[in-house]
Amino acid sequence: MKQLHKQMSSKRDDDTIPMSQSSPYSPKALKHPRSLPRSLHYLFREQRLLFILVGILIGSTFFILQPSLSRLSPAESTSLITRSVSSTNYSPSRMSFNYGGGKTGRVPVGIGPRRLRIVVTGGAGFVGSHLVDKLIGRGDEVIVIDNFFTGRKENLVHLFSNPRFELIRHDVVEPILLEVDQIYHLACPASPVHYKYNPVKTIKTNVMGTLNMLGLAKRVGARFLLTSTSEVYGDPLEHPQKETYWGNVNPIGERSCYDEGKRTAETLAMDYHRGAGVEVRIARIFNTYGPRMCLDDGRVVSNFVAQTIRKHPMTVYGDGKQTRSFQYVSDLVDGLVALMENDHVGPFNLGNPGEFTMLELAEVVKEVIDPSATIEFKPNTADDPHKRKPDISKAKELLNWEPKISLRDGLPRMVSDFRNRILNEDEGKGL
């Protein structure tokens, strides 16, 4: 400040007393003791004070306007991205494909055939992408939300050019506001290897994610479908499991983040249904297989198929006599849509009640993929889930749904997808 004042003083001297520069004994050199009263006098003359005030006004105006300006900028930057996406290598935080007429909000009723606007969380995942295919196929508008923790853009790339499809990179742990008619809430890693990776995040996804999507459903009056899991039955003491069974779940184990998270998600859904009148649907999904499954997430079907394609022996843990039920993904997707369109809250078991031992499964894989495949036995892991088999009589009766595709019919349908991906993977490694 002192320096500034000195500068100003000297400048004033330059202007008004130019002759002083020639003399070393000019008043400029002597004026220091008298500078304060002189500067004050100088300040008050020629409306200089007024101009300081004008300056303050200009400076303040900038800072007052600035927050609203900076608040605008992120929205502007995403709208710049909106129209420019075409390749999968490009990963913007929000890829939006504009609707033909530039409509905003939900599709107005009465203008042409009724089209639903549907959001599918986790829509880039294995089950989600098949569901999206079905919804797009019947003519609806679909918004996919995915954080791509286990989801892959490859599962949806064939839809990128469809104007009724939109993909948003978003984590459901954060709220989002959309105008939709239906919410399929699938977002959550579903394989132990993935959901144990960050158990606290798994709980957040299940609890806060479900809370956020239920809040959205409440705000916009959308119907909400929760994809729960057969894991809510834990290590069941009833076999097969009916929806009325309360389960046998360890609250403090390593798998609890998923099991308890999903149970709490169900609780939240029911509380929003009872308390806020939200139209809720709950599906409890049993083991499912099909194209686009994660290759190496430790599930037995993808393990066996991938191992056989790679010409490795199939790994059977324990004696191979533990049983599993496997449902083909298109059956599940049909069940989810039937549940959403129906009037029953649920919960509904969606699974294939056909039961196979691990050895029987290995035999089928051998038969339909590669007769030369071999089996390798390894000791069983500690938390290997015990047998689980859905009782689907409730879904049969109320939703008129039951699985149609047997293991022998379903397995071959996933082989070409797996073969391509394993081939690409190997090529990628070779580079």
Window of 96-104, 174-182, 257-265, 313-321 that interacts with a second copy by CB under 8 A? 257-265
| By CB under 8 A, residue 21 contacts a second copy | no
Per-residue binding string, a second copy, 22-51, x by CB under 8 A, is -----------------------xxxxxxx
Shortest distance in whole angstroms from residue 244 CB to a second copy:
9
Residue nearer to a second copy on the CB measure, 141 or 260: 260
Shortest distance in whole angstroms from residue 204 CB to a second copy:
7
Residue nearer to a second copy on the CB measure, 254 or 296: 254
Window of 11-19, 84-92, 307-315, 360-368 that interacts with a second copy by CB under 8 A? 11-19
| By CB under 8 A, residue 69 contacts a second copy | no
Supply 65's token pair.
Answer: 């306007």
Residue nearer to a second copy on the CB measure, 143 or 282: 282
Window of 3-11, 69-77, 183-191, 375-383 that interacts with a second copy by CB under 8 A? 3-11
258 tagged catalytic: yes
Window of 17-25, 178-186, 198-206, 335-343 that interacts with a second copy by CB under 8 A? 198-206
Three-state SS string over the chain comes to CHHHHHHHHHHHHHHHCHHHHHCCCCHHHHCHHHHHHHHHHHHHHHHHHHHHHHHHHHHHHHHHHHHHHHHHHHHHHHHHHCCCCCCCCCCCCEECCCCCCCCCCCCCCCCCCCCCEEEEECCCCHHHHHHHHHHHHCCCEEEEEECCCCCCHHHCHHHCCCCCEEEEECCCCCCCCCCCCEEEECCCCCCHHHHCCCHHHHHHHHHHHHHHHHHHHHHHCCEEEEEEEHHHHECCCCCCECCCCCCECCCCCCCHHHHHHHHHHHHHHHHHHHHHCCCEEEEEECCEECCCCCCCCCCHHHHHHHHHHCCCCEEEECCCCCEEECEEHHHHHHHHHHHHHCCCCCCEEECCCCEEEHHHHHHHHHHHCCCCCCEEEECCCCCCCCCCCECCHHHHHHHCCCCCCCHHHHHHHHHHHHHHHHHHHHHHHHC
Shortest distance in whole angstroms from residue 317 CB to a second copy:
23
Supply 346's token pair.
Answer: 């649920």
Nearest in space to 95 (alpha carbons), one of 140, 37, 148: 148
Residue 185 to residue 285: CA distance in whole angstroms? 13
Per-residue binding string, a second copy, 263-292, x by CB under 8 A, is xx-xxxxxxx-xx------x----------
| Catalytic, out of 195, 258, 272, 328 | 258
Residue nearer to a second copy on the CB measure, 140 or 243: 243
| By CB under 8 A, residue 195 contacts a second copy | no
Shortest distance in whole angstroms from residue 53 CB to a second copy:
6
Shortest distance in whole angstroms from residue 378 CB to a second copy:
25
Residue nearer to a second copy on the CB measure, 32 or 274: 274
| By CB under 8 A, residue 183 contacts a second copy | no
Residue 153 to residue 187: CA distance in whole angstroms? 15
Per-residue binding string, a second copy, 331-370, x by CB under 8 A, is ----------------x-----------------------
| By CB under 8 A, residue 390 contacts a second copy | no
CB atoms within 10 A of CB 288: 26
Among 200, 371, 400, 429, interactor with a second copy by CB under 8 A? 200
Shortest distance in whole angstroms from residue 419 CB to a second copy:
37
| By CB under 8 A, residue 15 contacts a second copy | yes
Per the CB < 8 A criterion, the answer to whether 156 and 167 are in contact is yes
What residues act catalytically? 258
Q: Which residues bind a second copy (CB under 8 A)?
A: 4, 8, 11-12, 15, 45-60, 62-64, 198-200, 203-204, 207-208, 211, 232, 234, 246-254, 256-257, 260-261, 263-264, 266-272, 274-275, 282, 347
